[in-house]
Structure 1
Amino acid sequence: MTSLVAAAAFFLLIHLGVSGTRLRDAVVGRIGQNAYMGLFSLASVAGLVWLGFAYAGARGEVWNTAHWGINAATRHIQLLTQLLAMLLIVPGLATANPTSVQQEGALDRPDVVQGMLRITRHPFLWGVAIWALGHLLVNGDRASIVLFGTLLVLAVTGTSSIDAKRKRALGESYEAFMAQTSNVPFAAVLNGRQSLKLAEIGVWRIALGVAVWAILMLAHPMLFGVAALG
Structure 2
Amino acid sequence: MTWLIVATIYWLGIHFLVAGPLRPAIAGRIGETGFAGLFSVLSAIGLAGLIFAWAAASYLELWPPGTLLGYAPLVLMPFALLFFVPSVTQKNPTSAGPPAAGSAPLPVFGITRITRHPMLWAFGLWALGHLLANGDLASLLFFGSFLVVSVNGMFSIDRKRRRSMGARYEAFVAQTSILPFAAAAGGRQTVSWREIGWWRPLAAVILYLAIIHVHGELFGMPAIPGLTMGG
Structure 2 length-normalised TM? 0.91
Where does residue 16 of structure 1 map in the other structure?
A: 16
Q: Give deviations 1:149-199, integer Å, cap 9, x for gaps.
A: 111111001100111111111111111111110112111111111122222
Q: How does 1:1-230 map to 2 (within 5 A)?
A: 1-19=1-19, 21-58=20-57, 61=58, 64-71=59-66, 73-102=68-97, 104-105=99-100, 112-229=107-224, 230=227
Give the AA of the match of 1:17. Answer: L
Give the whole-Å Cα distance in 1 for the aligned partners of 2:88 and 2:140.
Answer: 27
Distance 2:191 2:65 in 1: 35
RMSD: 1.8
TM-score, L = length of structure 1: 0.91
Q: Quote the offset at 1:70 in angstroms.
A: 3.5
Check 1:108–1:203 CA distance in 2 against 1; reply closer, same or farther (3 A cut). Answer: farther
**Stretches of structure 1 lacking an aligned partner (at least 5 in a row):** none
For residue 110 of structure 1, report the CA deviation from its aligned partner: 5.4
Q: What's the CA shift string for 1:176-229, capped at 9, x where partnerless?
A: 111110112111111111122222111111111122222111111122111102
Change (3 A) 1:202 1:49: same
Q: Does structure 1 conserve the Cα–Cα contact (< 8 Å) formed by 2:70 and 2:134?
A: no
Q: Secondary structure at the match of 2:92?
A: coil
Look up the equivalent residue of 1:8 and give its one-letter code: T
Residues 104 and 211 of structure 1, relative CA distance in 2, 3 Å threshold: farther
Matches of 1:40 and 1:103, distance apart in 2: 13
Q: How far did residue 88 of structure 1 move?
A: 0.7
**Secondary structure of 2:100 counterpart:** helix
**For the residues of structure 2 that align with 1:86 and 1:107, how far apart are their CA atoms?**
32
* One-letter code aligned to 2:195: E
Q: What is the identity percentage for the equivalent residue pairs of Structure 1 and Structure 2?
A: 44
SS of corresponding position for 1:29: helix
Amino acid in structure 2 at the alignment position of 1:13: G
Deviates more, 1:204-213 or 1:47-56: 204-213
Unaligned stretches of 5+ in structure 2? none
